[in-house]
Amino acid sequence: MRIAIGGFMHESNTFAPLPTDLSRFRDGSLTYGDAVIPSWQEAHHEIGGFIEGGRRFGFTPVPVAMAWATPAGPVSDEFFDHFTDALVTGFRLARAQGVLLALHGAMVTPRHPDADTEVLRRVRAALGPSVPLVVTLDFHANVSPQMAEAADALVGYQTYPHVDQRQRGVAAAELVARAVGKAVRPVCHVAKPPMLLNLLGQDTAREPMAGLMRMARAMEQQPGVLSVSLMAGFPYADVPEMGASVIVVADGDRTRAKAAADELANAMWAVRERLNVPCPAPEEAVRQALACTHLPALLIDLGDNIGGGSAGDGTVLLAELLKQRAKGFVVTLHAPSAVAQAKDAGVGGRVEVKVGGSTGALHGPPLTVRGTVRSLHEGRWVEVEPRHGGKRQNDQGHTAVIDLADGNLLVVNTLRTPPFSLGQLTSLGIDPKHVRVIVLKAAVAYKAAYAPIGGTIIEVDTPGLTAINAARFEYKHIKRPMYPLDAS
């Protein structure tokens, strides 16, 4: 049995000015044909799960192509057409009995506000109606009912931070193998309650989301139910399909799939107010961090969440830490020009660098700081543990560590890199367990790496492209009414 595998993954923030083109995918991961296997087979990612599924369920994976880029603005139509054509051509030439496809579910292009559905439409047209097509989706997918029409089954991650990606890939592999062998006939239904969930409420270890996930897992034990996926959605995409959803895959029974999906969607709606989580403003948050005795204190810069497509150079918390005369902090910023200055100065050299401001004053104004270059690095490391995003090979580009005095370190890098791995710091000779305050430009995904070593977590209501408060954004294209923007 031959099963073609591929993926096209991007989380597109439509409020972000930075477009995602070919160069951004090259900075992330872009592989074709046989190169997919060595790049992804050991990763804690669904592509790795697809490959493992071949060994478990007796099929030969036929690698076609895989593209992944750090979240940012919409994907260019030129790259979208190129890579979708590569997938379609590869799947057609593979002459496989089934297809496994990894999509994010929140990809947007200028021409395609629901770009993942457009990928599925083109793939299905190439495969014909009889070839089983099983698709994995990120927990933050903005799922459209049209996805369920094009694919035989949709399987979403069920953890946030995403540490179950490989397992969900294995589950998808089992489904496609059973479908090819005629052991099951998967059919899919999508229910969409009119809800926008802030990212803190999406944390699957936090109630009431944890209870909803227990309900989803119990539903999977019901006769005839093959898979249940509760999907939180991606709130930073101003597109018609933005919002939460429930996907149920049943064995040949669409009525059963719809009933289960509606039941879980209604349960989500019932706890909607509890899924919105408040947090302090920057001044109060820093004050709390400096008073902490349970260290390190983690300041979560929600408005500049790189994993949600933000710039990664917000200065709001750095400025507040300096204002309050903090000692012993580490802040990481995307600042290519500062890296260049540090390299020119060399280790031990004094520098005066300007950081921030790539998106105007949205994440705070540019800030000038002075310090000594402590170290210079290529910025690469290998992550061996299951982490959000599933990447094994990591690269934050050329990186400099600048000592600002008083035990304060500023890490500047040339590639926007979300803090999903402790290796981002440990590879630079920084032990995060021995730092007083760490600023993380994230929302929830960092927890897989940092929660085990974090003493106190303080989530901060900072401004920016990924602000936690949806009322900060002007939505023009989403469906209305939408809770909490409109009256419940």
Closest by alpha carbon to 231, among 195, 177, 182? 195
Identify the structural domains of the chain with CATH numbers, from first to last: 2-275 (3.40.50.2300), 282-467 (no CATH)
Q: Phi/psi zone of residue 357: left (φ > 0), alpha (ψ -120 to 50 degrees), beta?
A: left
In whole angstroms, what is the distance from residue 43 CA to residue 3 CA? 19
Closest by alpha carbon to 472, among 198, 142, 108? 198
Q: Report helix, strand and coil shares of the chain as percent, to nearest 5.
A: 35, 25, 40
| Tens-level pLDDT at each residue, the chain (488 residues) | 999 999 999 999 999 988 999 999 999 999 999 999 999 999 999 999 999 999 999 999 999 999 999 999 999 999 999 999 999 999 999 999 999 999 999 999 999 999 999 999 999 999 999 999 999 999 999 999 999 999 999 999 999 999 999 999 999 999 999 999 999 999 999 999 999 999 999 999 999 999 999 999 999 999 999 999 999 999 999 999 999 999 999 999 999 999 999 999 999 999 999 998 989 999 999 999 999 999 999 999 999 999 999 999 999 999 999 999 999 999 999 999 999 999 999 999 999 999 998 877 888 999 999 999 999 999 999 999 989 888 889 999 999 999 999 999 999 999 999 999 999 999 999 999 999 999 999 999 999 999 999 899 999 999 999 999 888 899 999 999 999 999 75
- Strand ordering across the sheet containing 98-103: 29-32, 60-68, 2-9, 98-103, 133-137, 153-156
Reduced to 3 states, what is the DSSP secondary structure of residue 355? strand
In whole angstroms, what is the distance from residue 172 CA to residue 166 CA? 10
Closest by alpha carbon to 439, among 413, 468, 409, 400? 409
What is the enclosing helix (H) or strand (E) of 457?
Answer: strand 456-460
